[in-house]
Amino acid sequence: MTETSTPGHSRRLTMTKAHKLSIAGVATLGAAALAFSLVPANAAETQTTVATAPVAWSKVVDGAQAQAVQQHLTVQQVIAKQQAKVAKDAKDAAAKAKAEADAKKDREQKAAASRSANRVPVFANNLDGWIKEALFIMKREGIPGTYAGIHKNIMRESSGNPMAINNWDINAQNGIPSKGLLQVIAPTFKAYHVKGTKFDQYDPVANIVAACNYAADRYGSMDNVNSAY
């Protein structure tokens, strides 16, 4: 601080920057001292309250966050359960549809097999047709034999004549002549007749089936017969 004067005027003081800063510092210290002297008796409690307020706020915030997280998890669990139920329902529906489709297919196959079993093919009314019809019946009844074996024995026994009869052998002498395509005597025809064929020795199909049934019982199959039997 310097002292200046001009002619005709009184002296005045001029403060430097350093002086100004010093005065400001003294004023700040004085204000601080005054504030300290004005602190109430319960200042400690007030400070405690102020100090603990952020902790309480933190607890409130943390609780809200925890509640929000719990609600989010609950929602996720509900969604997961719903998705699992939808997936299970879809799986059950697919399994049910497959079971129904399989059952329908099985019914159709059984119906087709039944129709096939019940359908009797139309056979020609000749030696070839008679043998084939006899084989059709034999297959159903489980009687062994082949086309070749049957045809071979028919040609030897009757030359393919369904009305052939043997009136000269021992059977004829005994009153029971051999008849038909495979020359079957009456007792044998009666014993080995297959239900579903005509009960007639001269009927070509009935004659073949009965003779093959007898040959299967005695020789294993008509295919094994190579001479009079």
- What's the predicted TM-score (pTM) here? 0.51
Q: What is the pLDDT of residue 120?
A: 75
- pLDDT digit string, tens, across residues 158-215: 999 999 999 999 999 999 999 999 999 999 999 999 999 999 999 999 999 999 999 9
**Contact in structure between 208 and 179 (CB atoms under 8 Å):** no
DSSP-derived 3-state class of residue 163: coil
pLDDT-based confidence at 61, cuts 50/70/90?
low
**Given a cut of 60, is residue 157 above it in pLDDT?**
yes
Pairing status of strand 178-179 against strand 165-166:
antiparallel
- pLDDT digit string, tens, across residues 2-51: 444 444 444 444 455 444 544 444 344 344 443 434 444 444 444 444 44
- pLDDT digit string, tens, across residues 83-98: 999 999 999 999 999 9
Q: Which residues pair with 2 in a beta bridge?
A: 14
Residues 6+ apart with CB under 8 A from 147: 131, 132, 135
